[in-house]
Amino acid sequence: MQTLTTTSLRIRKSQLWILDQQALPQRAEWHLCRTVDDLVGHIHALRVRGAPLIGLSASLLLAQLAEEGMPVAELHQALATLRASRPTAVNLMNNLDRMKIALEQRFHIPAMVQEAEGLVGEDRELCDRIATHGAELVTADSRILTHCNTGGLATAGVGTALGVIHRAHQQGKVAQVWVDETRPLLQGGRLTAWELGELNIPYQLICDSMAASLMAKKQVDAIWVGADRIAANGDVANKIGTYSLAVLAKYHGIPFYVAAPHTTHDPHCPNGEAIPIEQRAAKEVTGVSGSFGDVQWAPVDAEVYNPAFDVTPADLVSGWVLDSGVVTPEQVRDGFFRATR
């Protein structure tokens, strides 16, 4: 494979390196990823995260293993193992479907390398088009609230929702970004805050439970989030806490936008109820882990419910901003996501 660099992935001498997003923002640590078990471990620990990035890292690893001479039967097993590593994010499944087609070619090694590298380039282009379409919806002096992390750390390009914010800021339209800390893993507080700082975009970090009071005080002009899966009826799975924001936005009359590439759309999933929701470890709620070590604040025997995602019904979304353009609620009611891929 050729040399390749994104914010969170690197290919050097046909070796895949992954930026540890659990160590950020205190440390920038890169891990060499040699095996499927390595990558599955990084995905489960959220050292690599973000629906587009997970799909890209899996594709690049498969291409690397093919170049190293892994037999075809073992490559098929590796593909199946990676597919099962993150059930909610459909980008992973879409990318692996394309890698499987390449694997089944007569000359599968160059086909897989070309497909993996092509997917990275495509993601960059998709992000750029999302940013262009989304920035048109941002009004002057906007105070935008965002949830989780949807920037360059989670994609090969400028990001999805955060890419929109970045493009709108370049156009002089963003006055302030409210950054939800995003429980339970604080991906807003650790990652989005770091990215906005690197981009010199003004922001303030808030606890998730503060969003309602800001809306009541008319301090939020729009909400922008990403997505891990968009069902055929327009329902959206995203990081836990997104649904709460959508309900609050509806009550306060605030636009609620979802930014995602078309690869996040799953036409085979009829609605949000059919989206598999990953359950995470109890320790992510009973305490916190980071560069500082482990802290436990709940009773050691506390029972925990910890879904990684929730589902926002389509009727709470003001617009779906895809690489192909802005999809309106009227289009969704007319079957847009049932008719397209």
Instruction: Give the pLDDT confidence of 240-267 residue by residue, as tens digits.
Output: 999 999 999 999 999 999 999 999 999 9
66 and 186 part of one domain:
no
74 and 167, same domain (yes or no): no
Q: Cα separation of 110 and 82, whole Å? A: 20
Residue 129: the pLDDT is 98
Band (294; pLDDT cuts 50, 70, 90)? confident
pTM of the full structure? 0.93
| Distance of alpha carbon 48 from alpha carbon 327, whole angstroms | 29
Question: For position 89, what pLDDT does the model report?
Answer: 81
Stretch 313-326: mean pLDDT = 98
Percent of the chain with pLDDT over 90: 90
Q: What is the mean pLDDT of residues 300-326?
A: 97
Domain co-membership, 154 together with 89: no
Beta sheet of 309-312, edge-to-edge order:
229-230, 236-239, 309-312
Phi/psi class of residue 335: alpha, beta or left (left: φ > 0; alpha: ψ in -120 to 50)?
left
Is residue 228 annotated as part of the catalytic site, yes or no?
Answer: yes
**Between 293 and 96, where is the model more confident?**
96
Token pair in block for residue 129? 């088009």
Q: Are residues 280 and 299 in the same domain?
A: yes
Residue 340 has pLDDT above 90, yes or no: no
Alpha helices in 84-192 (DSSP H): 90-103, 108-135, 161-170, 187
Measured distance CA(45)–CA(49) in Å, rounded: 9
What's the CA gap between 99 and 155, in Å, rounded? 18
Checking if the pLDDT of 56 tops 60, the result is yes
Mark out the alpha helices in 217-287 (DSSP H runs). Answer: 242-252, 283-286
Over residues 96-125, mean pLDDT: 96
Confidence of residue 87 (pLDDT cuts 50, 70, 90): confident
For residue 240, CA distances in Å to 43, 140, 176 come to: 17, 29, 23
Asked whether residue 2 carries a pLDDT value surpassing 90, the answer given is: no
Tokens of 213: 């009071």
pLDDT at position 4: 87
Q: Are residues 120 and 189 in the same domain?
A: no
pLDDT reported for residue 291 = 66
pLDDT band at 289 (very low <50, low <70, confident <90, very high): confident
Beta carbons within 8 Å of 303's beta carbon, 6+ residues apart? 282
For the segment 138-172, what is each residue's pLDDT rounded down to a tens digit?
Answer: 999 999 999 999 999 999 999 999 999 999 999 99
288 and 243 within one domain: yes
Do residue 143 and residue 41 come from a single domain? no
Asked whether the beta carbons of 25 and 193 are under 8 A apart, the reply is yes
Looking at residue 274, which CATH number applies to its domain? 3.40.50.10470
Asked whether residue 207 falls in the same domain as residue 148, the answer is yes
User: Residue 313 has which token pair?
Assistant: 């019904």
Joined together, the tokens standing for residue 258 give: 């979802």
What amino acid is encoded at 164 in this protein? V
Mean pLDDT of the region 280-292? 85
**pLDDT of 321 above 60:** yes
> What's at 337, amino acid-wise?
F
The answer to whether residues 80 and 215 belong to one domain is no
Contacts of 15 (CB under 8 A, 6+ apart): 32, 34, 64
> Does 106 lie in the same domain as 36?
yes
Instruction: Count the helices and strands in the chain (H runs, E runs).
Output: 13, 16
Question: Which of the following is catalytic: 228, 266, 310, 323?
Answer: 228
pLDDT at 174 over 90: yes
* 41 burial via Cβ count (<10 Å: 0-12, 13-18, 19+): middle
Count up the domains in the chain and report the number. 2
For residue 341, pLDDT over 60 is answered with: no
Q: Which domain holds residue 169?
A: 137-339
Q: How far apart are CA 23 and CA 186, in angstroms?
A: 12
How much of the chain, in percent, has pLDDT values that exceed 70? Answer: 99
